[in-house]
Chains A and B, each alone.
Chain A
Amino acid sequence: MEKMKQFLKKKEMGILLILIITMVFITAGNSVFIRPDNIMDILSSNIVMGIAALGMLLIIITGGIDVSIGAIITAVTVVIGEFSTKVSGNLFAIILIACATGALLGLVNGLLVACLKLPAIVTTLGTMSIINGIILFVTNGKYIRNLPSSIAELGQQYLFKVSLPEGGFYGFPVIWLFWIGAIVLTWFVLKHTVIGRGIYAVGGNEESAQRIGYRSKRILTFSYVYAGIMAGLAGVVHTGIMRQVDPLAFKGFETQVIAAVVVGGANVLGGYGTVLGTTIGVLFMAVLSNGMVLMHISTFYQKIVIGIVILVAISIDVMQQTMKEKRMIKVDIKE
């Protein structure tokens, strides 16, 4: 009972509650929303954001931010586009190349932030521009098409496929495995590894982390490299769904990813954030935009609503902290 109470008190449950309420409202407005195929569509089309947000979560817990995430994913898709059309169509080789590309670009961000102590936002703004420039130089802004089927059909593959009598089918999309795998891996890293706890420690108090033996530079670098690897996976999934490579596909993507992580309860000042919260945050953003489309709300309003959601999420967080601090002062006086 005690455990249950504690569980319900957690921040994540608040966001989940808001998610459910939102879903009820949208369903009331347009019942198409709650149909299984629509729900599956929402999930599939937000896997890329879901995976990228997991990487962003680590960086945000350290107190950093990565606005180059969209550029990194694009770079990954271009590399695997070139690789798969010119070298090999082996899916495992493609995944490996994708993660390696993401990790390398993440490493550059990480080293700049950790070793040169540059502010994360400025660093990643710089690398974003550089990466985007190189992408345009390499691709001339043109799509890469005619990808081998191993990658191009990844988005159409299902496990446990069951055909329905009236046509169509149900099944478990293979790309969901990427998301589930990334969720489990990130949860394990953050919760059960020494370096994962170090990410919280450095985000909470860098000097103290060094005093108990953490090397904060390594931990910062690791979080950017990990985000790069997640960007690699996201790039594979994206290419598998789109069946081609668009060098401009991720313009503005970083805002959505950061918004999802923050709405999911991570603190932009560092120290707090969970995999569960982030994933609920991604689902919330996904449901919100899908719902607004279904309710025929114009794109302009959609942008405004998303902006308001981000601001509200951050202010609730800040207000809760202020109130908690006030309560703490009273406790100290009483004792």
Chain B
Amino acid sequence: MSFLEFKNVSKSFPGVKALNEINFSVQKGIVHVLIGENGAGKSTLIKILTGVTTPDEGSEIWIDGKNAHISSPVEALNQGIVAIYQDFSLFDNLSVQENIALGLQITKERKVINWKQLKEQAKVAMQKVRLEAKPDELVANISVAKKQLVAIARALVYDVKVLIMDEPTSCLSQGEVKQLFEIIRELKEDGITIIFVSHKMEEIFEVGDVVSVLRDGQYIGSYDKDSIMVDQLIELMVGRKIIYGTYQKRKFHKSLLKVENLTKRANFKNISFKLYKGEILGFTGLVGAGRTEMVQALFGLNKPDSGSICLHGEYISINSPVDAIRNKIGYVPENRLLEGLIQTQSIKRNLNIVILKELKKGLLLSNTAKDKSAKKWMEKLAIRPIIPEMLVGKLSGGNQQRVVIAKWLAAQPEILIVDEPTNGIDVGAKEEIHRLLRQLSESGMSIIVVSSELPEVISICDRILIMKNGKIVAEMGEDVTQEMILNKAVL
């Protein structure tokens, strides 16, 4: 019997259709898993279900045979739709009992708080999840594992019919995950329908009953756990088969950079690898696997706790970007709009910002040198139009990305780290960036590419390192496929 039904649920944001006519139903009293890549529309769907976001006209959500008309969080909560969020969504400045039961006072539309009732409700919920803590302790003072229990207890104070869990295990240790699954099974026995959002295949198969896949805002299908295999699910999740130009995988011998046992608590652990001169080395894995944090450590933006970095056979320490630049390491960040470029300034200024020292004549900056250098790099990287005074914000995405890369090339790095090099630019421009990176490597530069886009990594990288939960779990080179990588990154 279908209990919860999505009928033609759509959501448009300016310029993007986050959800496109989602239609599927969820049975009562089961764990229904929702999977999809980042940006597939899972969180938008959850926001609509919990009343935080209003869907487009014509979207309907039916519960127990009736149109639920969810238009606000209070309405969703009153109908028994409750969510537990990945970040717990708790109030550090309020007590445990208030975090758990304050919401009930709001949905019951009380004006004055009934403390006796609140304490009692909190106590009952705490017992249900076996949370041992002082009810009047501030949440700021309890451990992460207990915070998770507070988040669950908070959901249970409502008359829950549908419980949404958004990547609930991402901050938990193995033992805590077990305890969570125990609670999930108990809830299921009580007839509660659970929508479980997760990336982790082993969990999905352990706790889930039915799996629904979303991709690029579309509903792909729902599958019974016993009727589908992991690699089939992965294929459904990835879906698109974009093929980029294939480049020869090259072999190198001259080692340039050696990283040994680089560790940063809560970010990455025992990272060891070699980078050869002229090589393109790819790092991939799920978002949150620690890739960005790790490369930021190489650029002095994220100080590691232990481990060593060896460049040209000499141990070096990189405590700040200044150190990195001195060692001829460049970094093109993931978010070029926020971190990589100054949008409101000209192309020229953006291009010259790293090499101001070299453009100095005596105490002052030389204007002719600035112009010359800017023009040189704009021509070299084919940044169009060649107007050094133009504001960077007016350029297209592909051109902007070339400005960021050019900026670092001007500093003549030996190692260039590029994080998500083609994020948010169109396919044609992507190919050009790929070609550019390959050219740079031909000229002897070593490049580290961090990317979630598997076809991209497979196309341009000579070797690929796959990260998961902060560790390198596999190295691949010749004959690598998307499925091989996903199997390692997800399983």
Contacts and interface: CB of A to CB of B under 8 A. Distances in A.
Interface of A: 192-195, 197-198, 200-201, 203-205, 207-214, 271-272, 324, 328, 331-332, 335
Contact of A213 (B74, B85, B92, B145): B74
B110 A213 contact: no
Contact of A193 (B52, B98, B112, B141): B112
B62 to A, nearest CB: 22
28 contacts: A192-B112, A192-B113, A193-B111, A193-B112, A193-B113, A194-B102, A194-B112, A194-B113, A195-B111, A197-B102, A200-B93, A200-B94, A201-B94, A201-B102, A203-B93, A204-B91, A204-B92, A204-B93, A205-B91, A208-B90, A211-B50, A211-B73, A211-B83, A212-B73, A212-B106, A214-B106, A272-B93, A335-B145
A335 B143 contact: yes
For B72, B106, B107, B140, the residue with the greatest tally of chain A CB atoms inside 10 Å of its CB is: B106
Interface in B395-419: none
B86 interface: no
Contacts of B89: 205, 207-208, 211
A213 B77 CA distance: 8
Nearest to A202: B91
Nearest to B98: A197
Nearest to A191: B113
Contacts of B144: 332
Contacts of B112: 192-194
B105 interface: yes
Interface of B: 50, 52, 72-74, 77, 83, 85, 89-94, 98, 102-103, 105-107, 110-113, 115, 140-141, 143-145, 154
Given A194-B112, A197-B102, A205 B77 contact: no
Nearest to B105: A194
Given A194-B111, A194-B112, A205-B89, A211 B52 contact: yes
With a 10 A CB-CB cut-off, give which of A195, A197, A272 has the most chain B CB atoms.
A197
SS of A interface (majority): helix
A197 B52 CA distance: 20
Contacts of A214: 106
Contacts of B91: 200-201, 204-205, 208-209, 271
A209 B89 CA distance: 8
B102 A210 contact: no
A218 B93 CA distance: 20
Top 4 nearest A-B pairs (CB, nearest first) are A212-B103, A271-B93, A204-B93, A204-B91
Nearest to A327: B141
Most buried by B among A194, A203, A209, A271: A194
Nearest to A331: B143
Contacts of A211: 50, 52, 73, 83, 85, 89
Given A201-B91, A212-B77, A271-B91, 20 more contacts: A192-B112, A192-B115, A193-B111, A194-B112, A201-B102, A204-B94, A205-B89, A208-B89, A210-B52, A210-B73, A211-B50, A211-B85, A211-B89, A212-B73, A213-B73, A272-B93, A328-B140, A328-B141, A332-B144, A335-B143
Nearest to A2: B134
B361 to A, nearest CB: 41
Nearest to B176: A335
Contacts of B94: 197, 200-201, 204
A271 B90 CA distance: 12
Nearest to B106: A213
A142 B153 CA distance: 62
Contacts of B102: 194, 197, 201, 212
Contacts of B110: 194
A38 B144 CA distance: 52
Contacts of B72: 213
